[in-house]
Amino acid sequence: MEVQVYVETPDAKDCFHSLVCWLPSYQIVDVRGYSDKEVEKYVEFIQKAAHLIMEFAQEGGFEHASAV
């Protein structure tokens, strides 16, 4: 199973910065506006949360996992 993780943050100058990370390969694509250092920061965060992201995706998403 592959899961697409989309990261987006507002930016006063460019409106939004974004990137896509595919799990479980951690392939980074479509980086828009982020520096290499910022991309590294987001990938580190995704790596720490990957087991939960994969579990939530397998079980039907965040709403299912959080019982909302």
The model's pLDDT over 19-53, given as tens digits with 9 standing for 90+, comes to 999 999 999 999 999 999 999 999 999 999 999 99
- Measure the CA–CA gap between 19 and 32, rounded to whole angstroms: 6
Q: Which two tokens stand for residue 8?
A: 């987006």
Task: Delimit the domains of the chain by residue range.
Answer: 3-66
Would you say the pTM of this structure is higher than 0.95?
no
E strands present in 1-68:
3-11, 15-23, 27-32
**Backbone dihedral angles phi then psi of residue 2, each to the nearest 5 degrees:** -110, 145
pLDDT on residue 14: 85
pLDDT at 64: 56
pLDDT digits (tens, 9 = 90+) for 53-62: 998 888 776 5
CA distances to 26, 27, 43, 59, 66 from 22, rounded to whole Å, are 5, 5, 10, 18, 22
